[in-house]
Structures are given as C-alpha cells and as structure tokens.
Amino acid sequence: MNILYIVNADIEKPAFGNAQRTRLLYDALCKMGNVHVFDVRNLRLSPQTGIKKFVNAIWQRLVIRPCGICLVPVYPFPLRWSVEELFPGIRFDVVVARYLFHVGILALWNVSCCLYVDIDDHPIQVFDTVYSIKYKLIKRTWSRFINGCLCNFVLRKLAGSWISNPDQVKLVNPYCRCLVLENIPFNQSVKMNLGDCLKTTRLKSSAHDEFIFTVGRMSYTPNYLGVDFFLENIWPVVRAQYTSLKYKIVGQGVPVNLLEKWAKVKNVEILGFVDDLSKLYRECIASVVPVLSGGGTCIKTLESMAHAKICLSTPFGARGLPKDVLQNGCGGVVIYNSAEEFVSAIERIRTDKNWLEKSEKTAANYISENFSQKKFEKTVMELITYSQSQHGV
C-alpha cells in the first residue's frame, strides 16, 4: 500500500509537541505500507490563469480575506500542484494529512478517495479560543460562520479523521468517522522508569531552593500570553505569600518585549532552552501550565504527570482529561482559577505529604497505563483499516 503523508515539519527533528505527534503518526503509517512524505513548506503552488484566476481572486476578496484568519481555506478552483510530478509513477492508495488546512489548499480528495486527516484540534474551537478575541462582533461572527462552512465542507471529503480532545469528537462525527488519537507526553519517546520517577529527589534544604516552572515553545502565542497573564495576575500574590519561591520559565522564542518585561519580575528566571527537563521535574515542587487558549490537549500537563509531578493548571490546560483524574487533585493535576486557589495548592503540596505522594504516583500510573506509542499506532491502524473496508479497498 502506497501512502502519501502531508506534513509541515521535519519528522526527523520532533523538537516539540506538534512535531512529535507528526513523527508518531509517521511511525504508525510505516507499519501499514510504503510512506512517501511531502513537506508542504517546500511546495510552490502554481497561480491560476484566466477565468479561474478571476473567480479565485473574487473569492479571496469577498470570502477569505474578510475572515481575518481562515483556518481551512478552500477555493472554487484548487490551487495548482502536481502529485504526479512530485511522485512520478506512484499511485497512492491512502493520503494522510497532518492538518485540515492542507486539505483545503491542495484539494487532497482528488489524489485518493481514502483521505485521512489528523485534525488534532477542531478549527472552530481553535478560532474561539485563540482568534475570536481579536475581532469585533461583526467580523467575529462572519469569520466564525465562514470558517465553519469551509471546515464542514472539507470534513465531508474525508474517509476518516483523528482528534486529540475527546470532547470534540461529536463536532466531527456528523461528517466523517472520527477517533480519539491522544497526545503523548513528549518524553515518553524515551522510555522512562516509573520507579525512578517516584523516587523524586525532594528538596530538604532551605526554602530558597524551592521553585515552580513552566515549559513550552515561547514563540507560540498561547504559551507566552498564558505566562504573561500568570505573572501579572497570579505570581504577585504567590510571591507575597512565599517570598523565596522562584518561578522558572523554560522554552525558546520569548518575544523581545516580554523578555525584558519578565526579566524585571522578582524571583523569575528565564532559562530558554533546557536540554534535560528531567532534572527540573525532579527538583521542582510543581509544574505550572498557565495557558488560557490553544489547541488539542496540553502535552505539558501530560508530561508533568509522566514525571510523577504535581501540575498546577488552568482549566484550559487540563481539558481532555477525565473528571476522575482532576477530582480534588488526586490524579496529579490541580486546577486553579485564581491566585488564592494557586496559593492554597502550593500550601497543600508543602504540607500534605501523604496526599502529595499518592497523587504523584496516581499521575504517573495513569500516563503509564493510558498513553503509549503502541496504543497510538493501534488507533491509526483501526481507522484506516475500517475506512478502507467501507470503500472496498
């Protein structure tokens, strides 16, 4: 079976969550057939000519451009590219795209009837949480409507899809078969010893060694906006209560203006890229996921749980996790909605050792039992095998 895999990242360098998911999907597809990878970043689309160019220009002017952000752009006449030219002599039985965006631009349903997309996070929820706040009412309403219409048009073209947030399956299923393909903690690609995680070195020295930390790609808007909100609204209250507690920010790409702003905040350390996160997880008292918007399920939350470490998270940062894991913080994730709740969580971590050890163990066990590359690959194969049987392939 020949599989065309459309990506927009280097599968050999999964340096962050989305790129890791791209690589995991590639590994799963390789077990099903011959995978031919095409990175759309290398694609030069040929412009339309004549009446097609005119119609597309009108469509762009009246539909796409007024949206402000079009997450699944579709054109009356698809922009020209040639799969035959890129892969001469190959007939593709299956096409898998990493994002819906590429399906709309390239009209991938013309390459194979067995078209699958890793949606990851539903575009409309991405729009609602990331982009809608930027627009006034009329533009927000128009943009959401157009994005919804184009998204549903593309979904109808699919043989199947995957999504990372279980709560979003119902948004896709009316149009095509959709399975939950869970994100995996980033360091799960390196087999971790659960026993070692639970033997976390607790700091028993003076209080000045205590710290919490956040990790993420800081060039990603939801990540740096979440940290900025945390520093403005949560951290001052926390620091007033625990004067020696430090907050460390890990990740490359902090915007220059925020880098200067954060550097002035007392007890805040900006570490940039850190090669070994395991050491930070071992030594911190908790990790912090302050995101207020974004996509999918938060890999940072899962990673903290995998390291048997309490994760202090906004409600958004914990979405997709079952309620029993979030109940009373007993699954290793403590939800905070205010600075006061954050302070209470820190106090409990510092004083309630029985709860702490039980919660950390529960978190690590939950990840070990429910998140694995084997389960990921099984979900990929299940969808493709089922849909091919429906198409008589």
Task: Give the DSSP letter string of 93-128.
Answer: SEEEES-HHHHHHHTGGGT-S-EEEEEES-HHHHII
3-state helix, strand, coil in the chain (%, to 5): 50, 15, 35
Per-residue pLDDT of the chain (393 residues; tens, 9 = 90+): 999 999 988 888 776 777 888 999 999 999 999 999 999 888 877 778 889 999 999 999 999 998 888 999 999 988 878 888 889 999 999 999 998 999 988 899 999 889 999 998 899 988 988 888 888 999 999 999 999 999 999 999 999 999 988 889 999 999 999 999 988 886 544 344 444 444 444 444 344 479 999 998 898 888 999 999 999 999 999 999 999 999 999 998 999 999 999 999 999 999 988 888 888 999 999 999 999 887 666 888 999 999 999 999 999 988 888 887 777 777 889 999 999 999 999 999 999 999 999 999 999 998 888 888 899 999 999 999 876 666 555
65 Cβ neighbours under 8 A, 6+ residues apart = none
Q: What's the CA gap between 96 and 157, in Å, rounded?
A: 13
As a whole number of Å, the end-to-end CA separation of the chain is 10
Q: Note the pLDDT of residue 325.
A: 75
Q: Do domains 2-184+372-390 and 188-370 have the same CATH topology?
A: yes
- Give the DSSP letter of residue 64: I
Query: Do 124 and 148 touch, CB atoms closer than 8 A?
Result: yes
Q: What's the CA gap between 195 and 367, in Å, rounded?
A: 13
Query: Do 269 and 263 touch, CB atoms closer than 8 A?
Result: no
Write out the two tokens for 179.
């399975």
Q: Which of 143, 356, 336, 122 is nearest to 238 (CA)?
A: 336
Q: Where are the alpha helices (DSSP H) in 178-255?
A: 194-198, 221-233, 235-241
Write out the two tokens for 129.
């949480």
Query: Do 324 and 331 touch, CB atoms closer than 8 A?
Result: yes
Question: Which H helix or E strand runs over 375?
Answer: helix 373-390
Query: Do 159 and 387 touch, CB atoms closer than 8 A?
Result: yes
Q: What's the CA gap between 225 and 228, in Å, rounded?
A: 5
Write out the two tokens for 288.
């912090």
Domain ranges of the chain: 2-184+372-390, 188-370
3-class DSSP assignment, residue 252: coil
Q: Note the pLDDT of residue 186.
A: 62
Q: What's the CA gap between 61 and 75, in Å, rounded?
A: 12
Q: Note the pLDDT of residue 331.
A: 84
Q: Taking the CB of residue 301, how many other CB atoms lie within 10 A of it? A: 26
Q: Token match 């820190």: residue? A: 346
Q: What's the CA gap between 81 and 42, in Å, rounded?
A: 12
Bridge partners of residue 224, in order along the sequence = none
Query: Do 277 and 250 touch, CB atoms closer than 8 A?
Result: yes
Question: Which H helix or E strand runs over 22?
Answer: helix 17-30
Write out the two tokens for 204.
């028993």
Write out the two tokens for 198.
């639970």
CATH architecture of 188-370: 3-Layer(aba) Sandwich (3.40)
CATH of 2-184+372-390, one of 3.40.50.2300, 1.10.10.10, 3.40.50.300, 3.40.50.2000: 3.40.50.2000
Task: Give the DSSP letter string of 262-316.
Answer: HHTSTTEEEEE--S-HHHHHHH-SEEEE---S-SSS-HHHHHHHHTT--EEE-TG
Could you tell me the pTM of the whole model?
0.82
